[in-house]
Structure 1
Amino acid sequence: MTKSNKLTLVFCTLILAATLVVAIAWHRTLPQDLTLRFHPYVGDKPLVLNNQSYKNPGGDGEFTIRDFQLFISNITLAFPNNTINEEESYHLVRFDGDSTFDQIVIPSIKIQNLRKLSLGIGIDPKANGAILFSGDLDPNSRMAWNWQVGYKFLLVEGTLALRESQLPLVYHIGFDDSYTELNFDITPEINVKNGVINFNIDLRRLFQKSSKKAKSLKKQESKQDIEYIDMSEMSHVKFSPRDVKAIAIGFQDFISML
């Protein structure tokens, strides 16, 4: 190969490499779907409905879950120069199908340089007090209390096996003051290039007696035990404001990024 041919080959290789870099950068700036994927757990164990039992976090016995669903709302995405608020942002996340997760898809946005993500657990007071159909809101659904009270923000049902008895577990949580906003930083370590952000929903956190910030929670656990609610002493929670508040404390901590 002559010297001129070698130079031509090198030049063409550089052109091809530059074109590829530009194409990749251009592709990343194109609108694409952003998927928020929620994985249910109990502590460090994946939640398996009906067939898997878990230790009562605050007492004796083991429990199984047959139904778990909750509302996620008001999703906001923050970028360096703008903020996107999802329209009709009321999603019912439920874990009663064959899949080990449920997900929310936000279509056709530019996810490059996403810096923060915020979401609400439950329904904001304005929508909770209105009779409207928006997103997954349906005042005739199982997740509605009634036309006057609003929606259940979270529904968990199952059974606690305690000695030789079976105790029904019913947790229908949600009043206006239970609505909780969570904020997440999208750091460089979190890979959103494929358009997916994974979240852990830890059912066990709902039964902790005090609220702790998710980032410091693991450090606290290594130093001291966390106190948990005994399911046998609080097995049925619906309209009691005090009991609802006790369970809703866990909203601060039970969703984290994987």
Structure 2
Amino acid sequence: MLSAIALVGLISSVTAHGTVSGIVADGIFYEGYNPSYQYITPAPITVGWLIPNDLANGFIAPDAYTTSDIICHLAATNAQAAAPVKAGGKVELQWTPWPTSHKGPVIDYLANCNGPCETVNKTTLEWFKIDGVGLLNPTSETDGYWATDVLIANNNSWTVEIPPTIAPGNYVLRHEIIALHSAGTEDGAQNYPQCVNLAVSGTGTANPAGVLATTFYSATSPSIIFDLYGTLTNYTVPGPALYSAAVSVTQTLPAAPTASSTGVYTL
């Protein structure tokens, strides 16, 4: 019989696409949820929402945009821990290796749980968009240079800033990639939403209005039915408008190491 650790490794080796495996909030690392954790007793408690039905590291298709699966992924259930972060602080989402062919936008939302996120009914969460990056250069690289290309170049990670204006409280961060490699035909786009519990502190007072995740996207939107392999000119990131006080983060790689006179590499 396979050990739990061996089983985790086997499942990870045969799956594709990706999940958020780690979260760094205000410089502190927290483990994301891996669907294989369901086979470990006791299962690790993570700040990432539980998606045990996603053993294939799969996606949510446009025909499910009006179902609860689009909220935090397939049959997602509440995380039982939260990562503390200050309003104005940064959260880094660390993905398992993302395929270079799966180009598309990276989008982030927040929803105030108005109480414990561990017990909130996900279908009642009202989300406001705090980040959305799509096509950055239509002619650079094959099929354009997208937010996903930036994510890959940054060691499969993406950083988002928690708006400094929002009121303290318990929030769910909804982080999502929409892969467009099969989006040339209806129902071909692939959504990969991942949710993380955050305990936000600070002195802000704003409570931005939000919308239900089941209203985010239209299956027939030109941002969802999109020919990645045609002549690219522009792309509109789908979903509701960006929160007016959202802060754009420049995704940057760490400085290249250089050798010192002693032969020790420094950053």
- TM-score scaled by length of structure 2: 0.25
Structure with more strand by fraction = 1
- TM-score scaled by length of structure 1: 0.26
Q: Which has the larger radius of gyration?
A: 1
